[in-house]
């Protein structure tokens, strides 16, 4: 708390001199346009546009403008120093939109930005789960559960929900159920503070869902009895692909709804894999876990760190769902599992390399330039592999 107060004071002290210098000395201009991506969508004229200024990642100023009849806007008198960055924000039909951070390069005084918005809808007919993972790690008398979902909005309208969450005064857009007795709930990817509220049997999210894909992850603990534990997952939105992953330490699963797959090696961790798909709203995915977890004779090596493994699984969700999963949704036709085996192995290898690159970069063991080049190369290979016709799955 004290550290946060100190940072707030520092930011406030920086605010006046920095913004004054920017106004007096800046010669940079950001020209932009708001574009409505909904077919036959509403006007983008006379919208309030906010430009947020950052100095070394600290917010130091806010300026506002109105769009013209074509949705265009301009901000001038901006500092072009590399330590300054800018973000364009607006609210359109009860949904918030913002640009990527904008920087001026060496010698540049003008930048352009397009902010895509969409008409809003309260119908969730186009919302589905492209890919969902439940990952179980065995502990002494408990299971650590990490869940990952890739939410897809396949329409050209932003879903803003229809039922208000009273504690936040925003509409509920996603609902996540938790098993009875779940403890130590932690939010991570895709869930923002101020948009989440507890519900009777889980939690709800109020962040609008724009067209495209969005990744969400969270974790919790449940008590485990080796004599048996029932996994029960309510299907709130249609789920195209569901994966149950269990750390291979003596626990097995039995389910009439899921089929056993080959054991996966993810970041050095062996995970038993059970999969199913095409679950509809109102279904309940269930599996019975049993078995005594094997004790570890010695501390696990770094490659078996659960956070690194979880991160890899999250990357798998993001990459596969955004490319392969969404394509499957559009085609409405699943591919035979046997024809995808070799392709999946290559996908797993590329995803593993991506995860390791991210881990190395976060630890500071790889230069940023090398990291970005290598990551772009692996992502390009993965995209090319996924786009290949399935008859060519064995070639790369």
Task: Say if 122 falls within a structural domain.
Answer: no
**Count of alpha carbons within 13 angstroms of residue 105, beta-carbon side:** 2
CATH number at residue 35: 2.60.40.1120
157 pLDDT more than 50: yes
Q: Residues 209-259: pLDDT tens digits?
A: 999 988 999 999 999 888 888 999 999 999 999 999 999 888 889 999 999
Q: Which two tokens stand for residue 108?
A: 């540049």
Q: What share of the chain has pLDDT > 90, as a percent? A: 50
Range of the domain at 18: 2-117
Q: How much is the pLDDT for 51?
A: 95
Supply the pLDDT for residue 292.
Answer: 78
Taking the C-alpha atoms of residue 371 and residue 383, their distance in angstroms, rounded to an integer, is 18
Tell me if 385 is assigned to some domain.
no
Q: Is the pTM of this model over 0.75?
A: no
For the residues 163-176, what does the mean pLDDT come to? 91
Beta strand pairing call for 142-153 and 212-223: antiparallel
| Whether 235 and 164 share a structural domain | yes
Averaged confidence pLDDT in the chain: 78
Single residue among 241, 271, 302 that ends a domain in this structure: 302
Give the CA dihedral 381, 331, 271, 396, nearest 10 degrees: -30
Residue closest to 216 by CA, chosen among 319, 124, 314: 314
Q: In whole angstroms, give the CA distance from residue 106 to residue 57.
A: 19
pLDDT digits (tens, 9 = 90+) for 180-205: 889 999 998 888 888 899 988 899 99
Query: Based on the domain organization, do 111 and 138 belong to the same domain?
Result: no
Q: Do residue 67 and residue 163 come from a single domain?
A: no
In this predicted structure, what is the pLDDT of residue 322? Answer: 43
Please count the structural domains in the chain. Answer: 2
pLDDT, residue 363, reads 66
- Domain-ending residue, one of 249, 270, 302: 302
Task: Please tell me the predicted confidence (pLDDT) of residue 185.
Answer: 93
User: In the β-sheet with 252-254, what is the strand arrangement from edge to edge?
Assistant: 229-234, 284-290, 252-254
Same domain? For 206 and 136 the reply is: yes
Whether residues 146 and 65 fall in one domain = no
In a domain, 265, yes or no: yes
Would 20 be classed as within a structural domain? yes
Specify the 3-state DSSP secondary structure of 184: strand
Question: What is the spatial distance between Cα 161 and Cα 120, in angstroms, rounded to a whole number?
Answer: 9
Kindly report the three-state secondary structure assignment for every residue of 16-54. HHHHHHHHHHCCEEEEEEEEECCCCCCCCCCCEEEEEEE
Q: Is residue 352 part of a domain?
A: no
Q: Are residues 172 and 96 in the same domain?
A: no
Question: What is the DSSP secondary-structure string of 332-357?
Answer: T-PPPGGGGHHHHHHHHHHHHHHHHH
Which among 314, 391, 25 has a CA at the least distance from the CA of 148?
Answer: 314
Is 329 within 8 Å of 130 (Cβ atoms)? yes
Asked if 84 and 103 touch (Cβ cutoff 8 Å), the reply is yes
């Amino acid at each position: 708390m004290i550290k946060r107060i100190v940072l707030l004071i520092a930011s406030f002290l920086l605010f006046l001199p920095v913004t004054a210098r920017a106004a007096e000395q800046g010669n940079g201009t950001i020209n932009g346009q708001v574009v409505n991506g909904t077919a036959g969508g509403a006007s983008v004229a006379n919208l309030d546009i906010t430009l947020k200024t950052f100095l070394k990642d600290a917010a130091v100023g806010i300026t506002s403008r109105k769009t013209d009849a074509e949705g265009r806007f301009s901000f001038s008198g901006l500092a072009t120093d590399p330590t300054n960055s800018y973000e364009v924000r607006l609210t359109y039909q009860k949904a918030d939109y913002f640009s990527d951070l904008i920087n001026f390069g060496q010698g540049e005084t003008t930048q352009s930005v397009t902010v895509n918005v969409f008409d809003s809808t309260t119908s969730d007919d186009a919302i589905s789960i492209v890919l969902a993972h439940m990952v179980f790690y065995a502990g002494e008398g408990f299971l650590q559960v990490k869940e990952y979902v890739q939410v897809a909005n396949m329409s050209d309208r932003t879903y803003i929900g229809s039922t208000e969450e009273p504690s936040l005064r925003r509409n509920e857009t996603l609902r996540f159920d938790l098993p009875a007795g779940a403890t130590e709930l932690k939010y991570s990817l895709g869930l923002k503070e101020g948009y989440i509220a507890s519900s009777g049997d889980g939690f709800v999210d109020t962040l609008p869902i724009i067209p495209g894909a969005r990744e969400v992850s969270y974790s919790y603990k449940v008590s485990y009895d080796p004599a048996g534990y029932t996994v029960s997952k309510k299907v709130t939105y249609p789920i195209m692909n569901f994966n149950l992953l269990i750390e291979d330490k003596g626990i097995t699963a039995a389910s009439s709804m899921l089929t056993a797959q080959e054991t996966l090696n993810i970041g050095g961790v062996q995970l038993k894999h059970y999969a199913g798909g095409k679950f509809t709203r109102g279904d309940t995915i269930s599996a019975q876990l049993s078995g005594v977890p094997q004790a570890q004779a010695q501390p696990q090596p770094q490659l078996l760190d659960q956070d690194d493994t979880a991160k890899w699984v999250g990357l798998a969700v993001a990459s596969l769902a955004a490319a392969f999963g969404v394509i499957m949704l559009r085609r409405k036709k699943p591919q035979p599992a046997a024809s995808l085996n070799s392709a999946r192995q290559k996908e797993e290898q590329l995803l593993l390399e991506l995860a390791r690159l991210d881990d190395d970069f976060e630890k500071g063991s790889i230069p940023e330039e090398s990291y970005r080049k290598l990551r772009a190369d692996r992502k390009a290979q993965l995209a090319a592999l996924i786009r290949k016709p399935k008859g060519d799955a064995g070639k790369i």
